[in-house]
Structure 1
C-alpha cells in the first residue's frame, strides 16, 4: 500500500471534521437571509446541503451506526459553540471595543430558533442516513436514486421541523408552506447538481484500503 494514500478509517475522521465544521458555519450564516427571485431563504442554504452530502457518503461507505456517531458529534459541538458564544457575549468588553452589539447580533439567536435548528438537524440528518442505508439494501446499484431520495426525505423533514418551530404563529400558514417547499427544493436541487462530485468521492473511497 502507498504510505501516502489515505485509508477509509483516516477519511472517516476527515469527513467527521468537515461535517461538524460545516454545521457550525451554517448556523452562523443562517443569521442572514437573501432573496432568490421572490423567495426569502437563509444564507445557510449555500453550505448546509454539504452536511447532507457528507451524510450520504458516511452512510454509503461506513453504514448507519458510524454516520449516526458523526450526527451526534455535530449536534454536541454545535451546542458547545452556542454555549461559548453566549459566554463570550456576556463577558464585559473593554471600553475601546465598539463591536459588542454587532458580535451579539450575529452570534446570538432566540431560544426558539436554536431549538428549531437543533431539532431539525438532528432528526433530518438521522432520517437521511437511515434512508440511504435502507435503500442500499434494496437498490445498491442505483446510487443516484438513493442519494436524491434520502436527501428529499432528510431535507424535507429538516425544513418542516425548522420552519414550523421557528416561524409558526409569526406568519400565515400559506407562507410557511411556501418556505418549507422552497427550502427543501433548493437543497435537493443543490444535491442533484453536485451529485457527480458525490459519486466520484464515494467511488474513490470504496477503492481505498479500510485500514
Structure 2
C-alpha cells in the first residue's frame, strides 16, 4: 500500500504545481501563429490530464479533495501576491517594481481564475464520471469528449470575466476561441500520456498489493 499513497502524493503535487505555475504566468500574453493567448495556456491543460488520471485510479472523492487543495493553494498565492505588492521594500532592494509587475494581477482576473478553475475542474470530473457510467470504457474517448467541453467552459469563464467590458465583443470572442483551440489541442495530445500513465500506475499498484 506504500506505493498507493506514494503515487497519489506525486500526482497531487504535480497537479498543485501546475495550478500555481499557471496562476503566476497567466499575466503574460504570447502569440502562437494567429492566436493571442496567456502563457498559462501552454501548461494549464496538463492539470486536467492529471485530474483524469487521479479520478481513474483513485476515484471521485480523492480527486475532489485534490482539486480543493489546488484551490486553497491558489488562494494562498493570491494573498501573498498582495503582500508582495503592499509590503514596503528595503531601501537596498531596487527590484520592487519588477515584483509588483509580476504579482499585480487585478482582483477581477484573480476572481476569473478562481471561477474558471472551479467550474472547469469539477465539470471535467462530472463529465468523466458520466461517460464512465455510460460504459464508455475507452479512456481516450472519455478524455477527448471531456476536454472538448471543459476547455470551452474554462475559456469562456476566464476570458469573459477578465476582459468583458474592456475590449470589444469581437476581440473577446477571438480571445476565447484562441485559448480554447490551443488548450484543446494540448489536452488531446495528452491523451496517450494519460492512457500510459493509468496503465503503468495500475500495474504498479496491483504488483505492490
Structures share fold, TM-score greater than 0.5? yes
Match of 2:103 in 1: 107
1:131 aligns with 2:157: no
Question: Where has structure 1 moved over 3 Å in runs of 4 or more?
Answer: none
Match of 2:118 in 1: 122
TM-score of the pair, normalised by structure 1: 0.92
Secondary structure at 2:30's aligned position in 1?
Answer: strand
1:122 and 1:177 map into 2 onto residues whose CA distance is 22
Match of 1:186 in 2: 182
How many pairs are equivalent?
207
2:190 and 2:21 map into 1 onto residues whose CA distance is 19
Structure 2: tracts of 5 or more residues without a match: none
Q: Kindly tell me: are residues 140 and 203 of structure 1, through their superposed partners in 2, closer, same or farther at Cα, counting changes over 3 Å?
A: farther
1:139 and 1:178 map into 2 onto residues whose CA distance is 36
Offset from partner CA, 1:124-157 (integer Å, 9 cap, x none): 0000111112211223421111001111221111
Say if 1:60 and 1:133, in contact at 8 Å, map to a contact too: no
Offset from partner CA, 1:19-67 (integer Å, 9 cap, x none): 1111011111111111122221000011101111101111211222211
Secondary structure at 2:205's aligned position in 1?
Answer: coil
Say if 1:20 and 1:77, in contact at 8 Å, map to a contact too: yes
Say if 2:29 and 2:37, in contact at 8 Å, map to a contact too: yes
- 2:52 aligned to which of 47, 53, 56: 56
